[in-house]
Chain A
Amino acid sequence: MHFYIIRRLLQAIPVLLIVTIIVFSLLHFLPGCPASSILGEEASSADIQRLREAMGLNRPVYIQYLDWVSGLIQGDFGTSLRDGREVFPTLMRRLPATIHLLIFSMIISISIGIPVGVLSAVKQNSPLDYFSRVFALLGISIPNFWLGLMLMLLFAYYLQWLPPSGRGTIAHLIMPSIALGTSSAGLITRLTRSSLLEVIRTDYIRTARSKGLRERKVIYGHALKNALLPVTTVIGLQMGYRLGGSIVTEAVFSYPGIGNFTYQRLLSRDMPVVMGNLFLFASMFVVINLITDITYGFLDPRIRYD
């Protein structure tokens, strides 16, 4: 097991390295000069030159890269172009709000997805199964920002049960979390169902049934444990993808998290903030995947010896 963990940790390093190269080259080699796009089309070339110098853009590319990466390692993400504040602490201050949102939406998707998926599989081809499949398919087909707006329309403006935007109480978290968590809920439902159906068809379940175990015991004692293995991976992956969704959802609800902040800064082309956030999200994603894989290794011994 230790071996497996160490191997996975080592595999994450080159990935993170390539991540830095991608983030860096995105912002440096794509057509479109950041300096001129900040200043707008009317800016004089002298102005652009001055800003390029201030941003350090006229140094050799590999120096800029090494400079940026060595900064990242020390937690120095540079300073904002807009307010001159340090990027890292600014991002960190807004991170907790986003993490609350992520966790809350995760709880919602798991607590809907797994039970509905299990019921759907156990009662395969019943009206209940049919209903939950439709629900799951709808869940993955609704854009989260639109769902957010619809929830806002109904619960904040029409019924006036929940606050339309902001942060502070649990009530503020409900609508953004549902908006963010619905597609994962649909996905987890589908996966739980199919995975459980597959396990139910295996020999050891037939054995368990034929030795006279109660159906309840067969499903919840034997089948479910194995069926949920692939679900854990998807939950982990979804957690990561949700970082992307959080930007849109936070923008809908004016939620003061890191996603909304980055979006605002993206509009004003505050590149150090955008780059820093990009790297932060990508590293979080890598770490979440790492934890998912290691958990999977604990749960399923077969994985470790691959």
Chain B
Amino acid sequence: MREQGRSFYKDVFRRLWKNPIAVFGLIIIFLLVLLAIFAPQIAPYDPYAINLRRAHESPSWDHPFGTDFFGRDVMSRMIYGARVSLIMGIGVISVRAFIGITLGLLAGYYRGWVETLIMRLTDAVIAFPGLILALAIMAVRGPGLFNVFLALSIVGWTTFARLVRGEVLSAREQDYIVAIKALGAKDLRIITRHVLPNILPAIIVYSTLGIAAPIIAEAGLSFLGLGAGADEITWGFMISMARGYIRYAWWSITFPGLAIVVVVLAFNLLGDGLRDILDPRMKDT
């Protein structure tokens, strides 16, 4: 069993390597992670250094992406901003996956009132456009990046819950699960050893494709002034602060926005590639 599992993922990696577009996405993600980790070493300027005499300078050799209204280097701030975007995207999707998988497993495996309760709750959470629910949570808890993280984690797990429940429902009818059960395996063991590994590919695909949404949502909330605080650097907040000067300093809005597009695009490219490999039923969707 073990050996087979390992070779399956080796095979996935081999096939991913043959998909140039997915590899392109992966390379961009890798570079962004490096930028985020080594931001202090890579950034040419201190992202907080105010220099009012050099405010609103257009892009030049000194400042490739120009400077903002405080004379701070836009590129350096963007490099630091990668940290929040990546943590937000990967962190939120992890929490969403955890909640969704747990609830989906419970609903699919135990059926009965547990299932009814969980699925009705899922329906109700789906009934909220995610951003609005997040906004409401922000309204109560107040602005701040941690609250954004919390608000975005509580919504959006429904896709995972539905996916996992459906897969568990079909898995439990299959002969091998029935056989293991007849052999006396415990529920928890069946779930973790047999059901979960079978749905893992689908979960990986959904997680990768799902990273884009919290990144865009954080940028949107920070843009609305509900996310980052004055001393935090995020792309959405940079755009928000520069918005009033849109006519004089297009660069301090354009480049941070491009950064969001690039990171979102990279995860979507990788996700598309993984989906073609891991979930052939969904190919071309």
Contact = CB atoms under 8 A, between A and B. Distances in A.
Interface of chain A: mostly helix, strand, loop or mixed: helix
Contacts of A32: 140-142
Contacts of A278: 128, 132-133, 136
Contacts, number: 148
Interface in A253-281: 262-263, 266-267, 269, 271, 274-275, 277-278, 281
On chain B, which size bracket covers the interface?
A: 35 or more
**A-B residue pairs, 3 tightest by C-beta:** A244-B129, A244-B131, A18-B124
B46 interface: no
A176 to B, nearest CB: 15
B209 to A, nearest CB: 10
Contacts of A15: 120, 123-124, 127
B268 A14 contact: no
A146 B224 contact: no
A228 to B, nearest CB: 15
A123 to B, nearest CB: 14
Contacts of B136: 23, 26-27, 274-275, 278
Contacts of A157: 246-247
Contacts of B236: 143
Given A140-B268, A150-B254, A19 B124 contact: yes
Given A145-B219, A244-B135, 16 more contacts: A15-B127, A19-B124, A22-B128, A27-B136, A30-B137, A143-B260, A143-B261, A145-B239, A146-B260, A149-B257, A157-B247, A190-B285, A244-B130, A248-B131, A281-B128, A286-B127
Nearest to B130: A244
A141 B74 CA distance: 22
Contact of B224 (A19, A138, A251, A286): A251
B224 A152 contact: no
Given A18-B123, A32-B141, A141 B131 contact: no
B201 interface: no
Interface in B183-212: 212
Interface of chain B: mostly helix, strand, loop or mixed: helix
B32 to A, nearest CB: 14
A190 to B, nearest CB: 7
Interface in B202-255: 212, 216, 219-220, 223-226, 236, 239, 243, 246-247, 250, 253-254
B93 to A, nearest CB: 16
A194 B285 CA distance: 5
A18 B132 CA distance: 16
Given A141-B212, A150-B257, A248-B223, A266 B268 contact: no
Contact of A143 (B133, B220, B254, B269): B220
B264 interface: yes
A164 to B, nearest CB: 9
A99 interface: no
Contacts of A26: 133, 136-137, 140
Interface in A124-183: 137-138, 140-146, 149-150, 152-153, 157
Given A190-B285, A198-B284, A146 B123 contact: no
B125 interface: yes
Given A15-B123, A22-B124, A149-B239, A141 B132 contact: no
B16 to A, nearest CB: 18
Contact of A248 (B138, B220, B254, B283): B220
Most buried by A among B120, B131, B247, B265: B131
B34 interface: no
A267 B225 contact: yes
Contacts of B120: 14-15, 18
A114 interface: no
A266 B135 contact: yes
A19 B127 contact: yes
Contacts of A197: 284
B139 interface: yes
